[in-house]
Structure 1
Amino acid sequence: FMKINIEQAERIKIEHGFALADMVNESEKIKVKPRGEDKEIMVGKREVSEVIQIRLEEIADKVLEQINNQGINLSAINAGIVLTGGSSKLAGIKEFFERYTDLPVRIGSPTGVIGLGERVQDPAYATAVGLLKLKPQLVNGYSFNQNPKSLGIGGKVKLGSLLEKIKSFFKEVL
């Protein structure tokens, strides 16, 4: 709606975005430079948040549909929801999901990480750190050991190569 490129949209989301439009002051404005234009224009922060909220509602609907398809009753999950990943750092996202699901919500960050820089103790890395800490156990019903070669059943993901890529990422970060 603002005719901006993806990089600028991501920057605006990170710097000015809020997950709940009704919590944003209508008078607050930000500068945006539309594609093909020479000068910047002023756009309401609330407008930006309305777009973000609509997209979050679409994502939440898809996620809740998948959970429902697995036969899981959300109202029975007393512990609530844990959000991870880079988007969990979006201002107001915890409150958005609490309203949307009527469940308690918290932001999950990696804990008990020894030897990794503070940089990875961030919700954006929670899943990757969790995979690194994974102990021998069952995944999708298939057992694997500490040095998995592949799940090898019906073209499933090669978990060993995935873990190696994640490990090499963290070696670069350190």
Structure 2
Amino acid sequence: LDFYLVQDFASSIDDFTKSILLDDTFFPAYFMRALVRYKQLEYKKAEATMSEGATLGATEMKKPEVTVIDYEVVKNDLDHVIQLAPDFVYGYYNRGNVSSLLKDYRAALVDYDKAIELSPDFAEAYFNRGLTHIFLGNNKQGIADLSKAGELGIVSAYNIIKRFTVTRE
């Protein structure tokens, strides 16, 4: 965790991997490794965006690429979390987020459903499920979820609802 806090992602991942090798039933190690890998991928994507068009002398800098396979590795760790701790709500929620990022919206909905089933007041799960429904064209379900997220404290949900309920003249 200390390595993660100072953004030494590689050392953090190595330590969580060692922990898993010592006890492959310790689900928090899988969960934290997934989170650190996800954060590492987000940094790589940000670096790639910032370095677009940047040159080093006469040659272009090598852009760090993030692929679907990178996110599948994160998802695999979350699969382990869910297998080892089927009542751990954040395993489903985070796997839903990764599925959504991978454009597997149906799988994301299943995971958000489970997260909400396990924790009926999980505002972020309602929010993300609402956005996913809207993206799939299920505006009525999406607005209902966003409304619930708003009731549970995510005020920005109301702005999104307004955009999808404005009457066109």
TM-score w.r.t. the length of structure 1 is: 0.30
- Structure with greater strand share of residues: 1
Larger Rg: 1
- Structure with greater helix share of residues: 2
TM-score w.r.t. the length of structure 2 is: 0.30
